[in-house]
Amino acid sequence: MKHGDPFGTHRVLSPPGVLPQPADRVDNNMKILFDNEILVAVDTLNIDSASFTQIKQEAGGDKDKIAAAILKIVETAGKCKNPVTGSGGMFIGTVEKLGSALVGKRNLKPGDRIASLVSLSLTPLKIDTILEVRPDIDQVAVKAKAILFESGIYARLPEDMSDTLALAVLDVCGAPAQVERLVKAGDTVVILGAGGKSGLLCAWEARKCLGPTGKLIGIAGSPRSLQRLDQVGVCDETLVLDATDALACHHAVAEMTGGSMADLVINCVNIPNTEMASILMGADRGTVYFFSMATSFTKAALGAEGVGRDITMIIGNGYAHGHADKALAILRESKEIRELYEELYAGGGT
């Protein structure tokens, strides 16, 4: 076996000199395994929410067209990196083989069930067949193989929940871990997309950190999403707003905070053009945490400058120490969130 670069640059086909994530194409030849790679038989892809939403809209909701679009992306790039959103997702599967340099150095063996905690936008992937498209939960059942690099991170699938449920949680596990770092007791926190997959986890974690004097405002994009949020019952105030309507969001939060606005705004929305709503809901010298993969750095940076907002903006990092365990723990702590997740992502609900 040949030795590969720990970060996977040996798989990059174009352009030269870049890492696998920004690469246009990677080598997805599964017949060659470098000695510091892990070969995984993949059965489920969890497509990033922003990416799946874009693909679904372009396909008009047609499952066959969605499947064809995903296959085309993977065949072209050797990985599942949506050329429009630049994002990917993650997978679950069974370890098939470890490179010789990793044997005995990883607490992992063939047959172990794992979830990748690195993006599909950098993961060499070869799909043999798409077995089922599940548009309501952004998941695709496949017969496929993938490569994890030496630097790649993963989590063993827990035994106390279904694979699809664990996958849904682990897909967004970076969000609540970062929220724990950002929220301070007594803050006023606004969550955009609070009734969604990452938003619910963020709301739970924010409530724990805020203490009795903090205020949590949850904004949902639809009455149905609002109902889910209210079912969890951790927000002080909730309402339905269009996150692309910056002025409406600004006025609503100004009214709820007496004009003081939010110390922290968390954006978990999976559609474009929500940067200005996030910025205008924040207080002067406040913070906006953009977890959404639909965020435009240009729109956020220039937009904040254009409205004279001195605000700290943080790009959501999908990785944090202990993030997988923290996210899974939320489902064990909250009966309400677990029931919602089981209904939406394990039971195939909408």
Buried b (16+ CB within 10 A) or exposed e, 38-61: bbbebbbbbbbbbbbbbbbeebee
Whether residue 216 is found in the same domain as residue 101 = no
- Average pLDDT of span 220-245: 97
Q: How far apart are CA 272 and CA 274, in angstroms?
A: 6
Last residue of a domain, one of 157, 185, 217: 157
CA torsion 284-285-291-294 (nearest 10°) is: 50
Whether residue 183 is found in the same domain as residue 261 = yes
Question: Would residue 166 count as lying in a domain?
Answer: no
| Sequential DSSP letters for 100-162 | TTTTTTSS--TT-EEEE-S-TTSS-EEEEEEEEEETTTTEEEEEEEEEE-TT--EEEPPSSS-
pLDDT at 241: 98
Whether residue 31 is found in the same domain as residue 68 = yes
23: three-class secondary structure by DSSP? coil
Question: Would residue 4 count as lying in a domain?
Answer: no
Q: How far apart are CA 139 and CA 199, in angstroms?
A: 18
Whether residue 77 is found in the same domain as residue 134 = yes
Q: How far apart are CA 205 and CA 218, in angstroms?
A: 13
Last residue of a domain, one of 157, 184, 208: 157
Question: Would residue 238 count as lying in a domain?
Answer: yes
pLDDT at 38: 98
Domain that holds residue 22: 9-157
Task: Encode pLDDT of 61-107 as tens digits.
Answer: 999 999 999 999 999 999 999 999 999 999 999 999 999 999 988 88
Question: Would residue 76 count as lying in a domain?
Answer: yes
Whether residue 260 is found in the same domain as residue 150 = no
**DSSP summary character for residue 347:** S
Question: Would residue 78 count as lying in a domain?
Answer: yes
Q: How far apart are CA 327 and CA 185, in angstroms?
A: 20
What percentage of the chain has pLDDT greater than the value 90?
Answer: 91
Whether residue 197 is found in the same domain as residue 333 = yes
Whether residue 208 is found in the same domain as residue 84 = no
Task: Encode pLDDT of 324-348 as tens digits.
Answer: 999 999 999 999 999 999 998 875 4
pLDDT at 349: 35
Question: Would residue 312 count as lying in a domain?
Answer: yes
Whether residue 16 is found in the same domain as residue 121 = yes
Q: How many domains does the chain have?
A: 2
- Average pLDDT of span 35-54: 95
Are 265 and 286 within 8 A, CB to CB? yes
Whether residue 108 is found in the same domain as residue 219 = no
pLDDT at 230 over 90: yes
Q: How far apart are CA 161 and CA 69, in angstroms?
A: 30
Whether residue 231 is found in the same domain as residue 121 = no
For tokens 């409406």, name the residue. 248
Whichever domain contains 254, its CATH number is 3.40.50.720
Q: Which residue has the higher pLDDT, 224 or 294?
A: 224
pLDDT at 318: 87
Residues near 236 by Cβ (< 8 Å), separated by ≥ 6?
Answer: 215, 216, 217
**DSSP summary character for residue 24:** S
pLDDT at 107: 87
Whether residue 128 is found in the same domain as residue 213 = no
- Average pLDDT of span 171-176: 93
Mean pLDDT, the chain, whole residue set: 95
Whether residue 153 is found in the same domain as residue 178 = no
Q: How many CA atoms are closer than 13 Å to the CA of 59, on its beta-carbon side?
A: 19
pLDDT at 185 over 80: yes
Last residue of a domain, one of 97, 130, 157: 157
Question: Would residue 334 count as lying in a domain?
Answer: yes
